Chains A and B, each alone.
Chain A
Amino acid sequence: MTLLFGFAPFILFALLSRLSADLALWLAFAAAFVVTIRDFVESPSLRLLDGTSLALFGLLALIRGFVTPELSLAIVRAIVDGVLCLAILVSLIRGRPFSLQYASQNSQHHPHWPLPAFLRVNQRISLVWAISFALMTLADSAVAFLSLPLYVGIAVSVVALAAAVTFTLLYPALAAERLAR
């Protein structure tokens, strides 16, 4: 659940972007700031997703506001999806899936945390998010470059996001149940 809170800026952006891309970017930036500060108070280290969201939405808000206001919504969405996808991929390649950072702070103090099973669960969750963002990038890029209707992008985003959220909520319990059996 805490992990989903990390996606709050993106979800806010996705919901508001149809209304106004600028408003969505600035509000997502504000949300990323609040989430980062809140998490930073909890543990004095910057989570990958928080840091990426903060930088990404801040930069995009500035670029679209002052440098290239003509940047289309589809391109902005594709950039956001793509950058978040890349960030998640990097965490996976480094062998420390981003979702691990949302596990209980207390358990992280163990010298040999996480156990392989826990790491595997997090790798799968992170991979699902990476696939989800890759699909969103693909769909929003198709809207931007191949002139597909915007609702295609939105529909893919909704389905991909819903799938990732559902997987995040259900899979850990399922994995724990399997281990307990």
Chain B
Amino acid sequence: MTSKKFRAPLAVALLAAAPLALLALPAYAAGPKLTKGVNNALADEQKAYVANDFKTAADDIAKARAVDGRTPEDDYWINKIDINVQIKTNNMAGADQDAEAAADSAAMPPEDKTEMLRLALILANNQKHTDKAVTYAKALQATNPTDAGVLSQITVAYFNAKDFPAAQGVVQKQIDAATAAGKTPARDTLQNLLDVQVAQKDEAGAEKTLEQLVAGYNDPKDWTQMIDVTITSKGIRDTDIIWLGRLLFQVGATASAEDSNLFGQTASHATFFGDALVAQQHGGTGFPDPTARADADKKTMPQQIAAGAKQSGIYNAKLAEALYSYGMYPEAEAAAQLAISKGGMTDPSEAPMVLGQALVAQGKYADAVTAFGQVTGGGPATPRITRLWVDYAKVKQNPPAATAAAAPAK
């Protein structure tokens, strides 16, 4: 009872004392006392800046710089404020100069540190001031940043300084964090890793990352790059090249002239006239015009399908390939199924592979993944090409969310 009686007055007394206690708090210290002339010039700059009058704002900054007896705090504030004026007037070199001076200043208050270092890092990267950028990157890293944009800039700094292990360390940490959280690493993070791996000539790592990129983000440009890398695989067969070409056209990537030529020539040589025709439509040259032969062949498809039941597995697998190339996907699916059920293949990878491709083309992605899972044998490059088709089916099944934009390492 007695303690209750005193509780309210005690609380009141504490509250009454609080304003005075506040005077001792660091938050109450309103920063440095700027020299009068500097303060007034900067106050004028603020008015001009918010009125979008950057010329006057720059003049006010010049007035502040001309004040005699400036303190380091004055210079810090002048530089800090001038960064925005320089950016607004597109003078990135000037902005960088200000940001570096501010970030290097002993007068920089601790609460400004992270933001000022971030700005100085971005601008130093922009101006290719590699040594400075690395200094800021290291200082920022010490603050354990989690912001993707900041981490990307730190990676850029190390990359430009050719400190690839450090750059890779930063990127790998981001990837590990995303993986641990059950998320796909950000596109730009993977792109940064790829750039670092390419710079280190880590081909195996780069290919793995590229595969992660296509699987995670389904960007046609990445697919083009991935397919270009895969096509150089050792021991790649003609059939593999045709399957890669189909994937290239399926994902909607822009095929280079070399790619279209290679796919067209390979398909023409293998008498897959439908595929050769598609390659020709994408600008492929260097092989006989397949139009007439494709038209004639396509006309015979109903008879060939009808004969399928009495024919071997190999026949039906080849028929499925032809049907796919003519865009007759349901028929290709049926023929491939028939080929699998008949068996007796010389190449066990062919029928399930075409089946998967036909299913993807029909939007039956889950079934396609199952079909690709049945692919065995083939050549040395076949498993990798199969994996790419699986990646595509999966990414179509679960399209990636919009990705955050951040500057890539290059």
Contact = CB atoms under 8 A, between A and B. Distances in A.
Interface of A: 78, 82, 85-86, 89, 92-95, 106-107, 109-113, 115-120, 123, 127, 130-131, 134-135, 137-138, 141, 144-146, 179-181
Contacts of B15: 82, 85-86, 134, 137
7 contacts: A92-B27, A112-B84, A115-B39, A131-B19, A134-B16, A134-B19, A137-B16
B50 A109 contact: yes
Contacts of B40: 179-180
B36 to A, nearest CB: 6
A115 B77 contact: yes
Taking chain A's interface residues, is the majority helix, strand, or loop, or is none over half, making it mixed? helix
Chain B's interface size range is 20 to 34
B50 A106 contact: yes
Contact of B22 (A110, A127, A146, A181): A127
Contacts of B306: none
Interface of B: 8-9, 12-13, 15-20, 22-23, 25, 27-28, 30-34, 36, 39-40, 42-43, 46-47, 49-50, 77, 80-81, 84
A21 B262 CA distance: 90
A110 B9 CA distance: 44
B50 A110 contact: yes
A123 B28 contact: yes
Taking chain B's interface residues, is the majority helix, strand, or loop, or is none over half, making it mixed? helix
A17 B410 CA distance: 69
A117 B36 CA distance: 9
Contacts of B18: 85, 89, 130, 134
Contacts of A86: 15
Contacts of A118: 43
Contacts of A130: 18-19, 22
Nearest to B48: A110
A86 B15 CA distance: 8
B16 A123 contact: no
Nearest to B27: A95
Nearest to B32: A116
Nearest to A146: B9
